[in-house]
Structure 1
Amino acid sequence: MQSKDLLQLAEQFGSPLYVYDAEKIKSQYNRLTKAFSKVEKLRINYAMKALSNVAILELLRDMGSGLDTVSIQEVLLGLHAGYSPEKIFYTPNGVSLEEIEEVNAMGVQINIDNLSILEQFGAKHPNVPVCIRINPHVMAGGNTNISVGHIDSKFGISIHQLPHLVRIVENTKMNIVGIHMHTGSDILDIEVFLYAAEILFDAARNFKNLEFLDFGSGFKVPYKKDDIETDIEELGKKLSKRFNAFCTEYGKELTLIFEPGKFLVSEAGQFLVKVNVIKQTTSTVFAGIDSGFNHLIRPMLYGSQHHIENISNPKGKERFYSVVGYICETDTFANNRRIPEIKEGDILSFRNAGAYCYSMASNYNSRYKPAEVLWLEGQGHLIRAHETFEDLIKNQISLPLPAKV
């Protein structure tokens, strides 16, 4: 997409506005499958928590993707988007046994990440195919909030509890068909990933009837010019070789599963906002926009840096701006960032706005959520309308107060 296309979309659909490039999503999917083309059985399960719009799910479904889901609501969305139950993988955390049983009844692959639920589920449903999520105790990821495989993480069954896990499986006669891990997001060091993979292989040797190994994801994408990213091609070469060797040792061709979310959709997304006001103080020039952390919370939650472009004046003289939102709290997207001269009414674009952006949006300050557009074959298609006041109040119930005397 070019700036003129984005400006036209902002004019047509209004701001703030999320725009996703279908071709970028497709190219990332194809890049990942090509990197692991030497693996006989490969499955990509899109981590839909990154961006759960039904149109995006349908796009990836048509490419052959499965789904990685973390809640019963995501499972229902996946079924609504046309995925067959066997293409949906369910990896919850901290949910009730009842929710897991309800999802299991839909025919979806269950992944259990704690010993208590594993034992309860196995005792009641010993014949159901179950995957087990282990915690490899490997610190990986670009932020503590997204590093989920370390020793203090709430996710997964500790690798040190493997003997206990095996006893539960033996006692319940459970049907264990897969082993899963996920170390974290924004992984840079391929050797760390490969080290964690060895832990997964070691765990897998305890189970004789596996069908797949799920390596999670967490691949880093670039957020600014010359930013570092996970070398998918190198990882594909090294892990494919090791995985194939393990399959030979195991005596069976297993399926290798990945669960990319950010890798597939992050770079495809741009968030368009309008500048409401330029505010000069004694030390800072603020560009106040028609959005806030209610629409894009990642810079405040993770300290993430999204590249910001002034697409209304891309060749203007650069000045230093602090880009801030309209929420009644500190919601700063950029501090003293060099951006081509900004004027009130200009449209700014936040890059890498495809993953964990709209999906984490809220109605804080009673603000409406923005619209979403999919750029497909040179045209913008509205895939979610701007919210209205009716959306804001539709589930609220007024209290019937007694009549005044």
Structure 2
Amino acid sequence: MKNYPKNIGINFHDLTKRYGTPLYVYDANKIEFQYKLIKKYFFYIENFKINYACKANTNISILNFFKKLGSGLDTVSIQEVEIGLKAGFKPKEIIYTPNGVSLSEIKKAIKAGVLINIDNLSLLEQIGHENPNYPIGIRITPNIIGGGNKKISVGHINSKFGISYYQLPNLKRIVENTGIKVEGIHMHTGSDIIDLEVFLQGAYILLNVASSFNELKYIDFGSGFKVPYHKNDTKTDLDMLGVFFKQKISRVCKNIKIVFEPGKFLVSESGYFIVKVNVIKHTTSTVFACVDSGFNHFIRPMFYDSYHQIDNLSNPSGKLRSYTVVGYICESDTFCVNIKINEIREGDILCFRNAGAYCFSMSSNYNSRYRPSEVIIYNNKSFLIRRREKMQDLLKKMIEIDIG
């Protein structure tokens, strides 16, 4: 497969004239490229499935696009399950892997008929007594440190996610006492995996747990594959991972479906967040570029200390100068600190890269700001997939009463 072209041919200025700013733009051709890339590295696995982790971006048009590509769906809430069903996924094409939810939500998922991964012993026992004939999967915590930082590392021993593999005797006892059918084993070590050895260590642990169950239909190895955020950044070595699975995993799992559930890997690089510069503000030591957005729309830099390349689309050949790019939210609201960007002027259009995953999906109406529009590009055609909010959107769920 050829490398994805660096110049994707999107005219962002035309899009901002048509749809305004701030604006999320997604390149569906890039999403398709990433999906086929994973398929390429694991083509030799006869029973292989990709389930898009839709928490990365739950826009129903993007889910519908993944459905057409042949993807399944990884969900973490009953609402995501319902959106997936509305997008056309069949119940058994959806895996529901919640954390810390009530039994009543699990029952809704059972009623919907989707695949379910349970991640704690208490719920497993309750489901086993009430619905022993409904087959379920088990989320195992491999007790390893994986992921790019502690906020996105979810496979360690003190994680709130999953059932520790040290608790395997307790797990097996509940299965035997309730008669519940276990059809799948699942893990997810964390996001932004750099050290492939850690991921493989978790895979071995998962296989060891899987050997305790005789009627498994799938083993879900999660994902967390890292994408590059800047020119010289690292990424998960899928080529090496593919070789490992071919040599080790595919032999053991001949009659079992192998599942990956990537989210960021599939959509992160497809996304661009476009903003306009409201004002340039100089202090004694800093030059601020203040834009028409904030962490209400784009929280990852503040929440995860994540890096996102920022390009000045209006002045791409301008002299490089140092800027701190900030938003209009009424508290600390910083996208980057003293980063060199082509000279920024008031009214310029800036572009944040890697904005396809966990960006709009984590947005809010903080400061009573409207959430932005979303646009998707496919084969050089643009489609509005979410309109910009208006005042009636903020007010429609409020109930105005005269308290006095």
TM range (shorter): over 0.9
Distance 1:175 1:44 in 2: 23
Q: CA RMSD in A?
A: 1.0
Q: Is the 8 A contact 2:9 2:380 kept in 1?
A: no
- 1:354 alignment partner, one of 353, 356, 363: 356
Map 1:16-165 → 2, pairs under 5 A: 16-165=22-171
Q: Is the 8 A contact 1:3 1:311 kept in 2?
A: no
Map 1:166-205 → 2, pairs under 5 A: 166-205=172-211
Letter aligned with residue 341 of structure 1: E
Distance 2:322 2:315 in 1: 15
Q: Which residue of 2 aligns with 1:294?
A: 296
Taking only the aligned residue pairs, the percentage that are identical comes to 58
User: Does the alignment pair 1:230 with 2:245?
Assistant: no
SS of 1:339's equivalent in the other structure is strand
Distance 2:136 2:239 in 1: 31
CA deviations on 1:215-265 (whole Å, 9 max, x unpaired) are 000000000111100011211111232111212xxxx51100011000000
Cα drift, residue 338 of structure 1? 0.3
- 2:345 alignment partner, one of 343, 346, 352: 343
SS of 1:206's equivalent in the other structure is coil
Letter aligned with residue 291 of structure 2: I
Distance 1:397 1:221 in 2: 44
Instruction: Point out 4+ residue stretches in structure 1 off by more than 6 angstroms.
Output: none
Q: Which residue of 2 aligns with 1:316?
A: 318
Q: Is the 8 A contact 1:16 1:272 kept in 2?
A: yes
Distance 2:66 2:10 in 1: 27
CA deviations on 1:59-94 (whole Å, 9 max, x unpaired) are 110000000000000000001111111100000000
Aligned pair count reads 398
Give the unaligned 5+ runs of structure 2.
Answer: 1-6
User: Does the alignment pair 1:11 with 2:17?
Assistant: yes
Q: Which residue of 2 aligns with 1:262?
A: 264
SS of 2:11's equivalent in the other structure is helix
Distance 1:337 1:11 in 2: 27
> Aligned in 2, Cα 1:189/1:401: closer, same or farther, shift over 3 Å?
closer
Q: Is the 8 A contact 2:372 2:387 kept in 1?
A: yes
Distance 2:11 2:116 in 1: 43
Letter aligned with residue 172 of structure 1: T
Q: Which residue of 1 aligns with 2:4?
A: none
> Aligned in 2, Cα 1:2/1:310: closer, same or farther, shift over 3 Å?
farther
Give the unaligned 5+ runs of structure 1.
Answer: none
TM-score (ref. length: structure 2): 0.97
SS of 1:267's equivalent in the other structure is helix
Q: Which residue of 2 aligns with 1:211?
A: 217
Distance 1:394 1:299 in 2: 31
Distance 1:183 1:307 in 2: 26
SS of 2:226's equivalent in the other structure is coil
> Aligned in 2, Cα 1:3/1:321: closer, same or farther, shift over 3 Å?
farther
Q: Is the 8 A contact 1:194 1:239 kept in 2?
A: no
Q: Is the 8 A contact 2:10 2:380 kept in 1?
A: no
TM-score (ref. length: structure 1): 0.97
CA deviations on 1:2-50 (whole Å, 9 max, x unpaired) are 5760111011100000000001000000000110111111010100000
> Aligned in 2, Cα 1:210/1:2: closer, same or farther, shift over 3 Å?
closer
Distance 1:115 1:2 in 2: 48
Q: Which residue of 2 aligns with 1:240?
A: 246
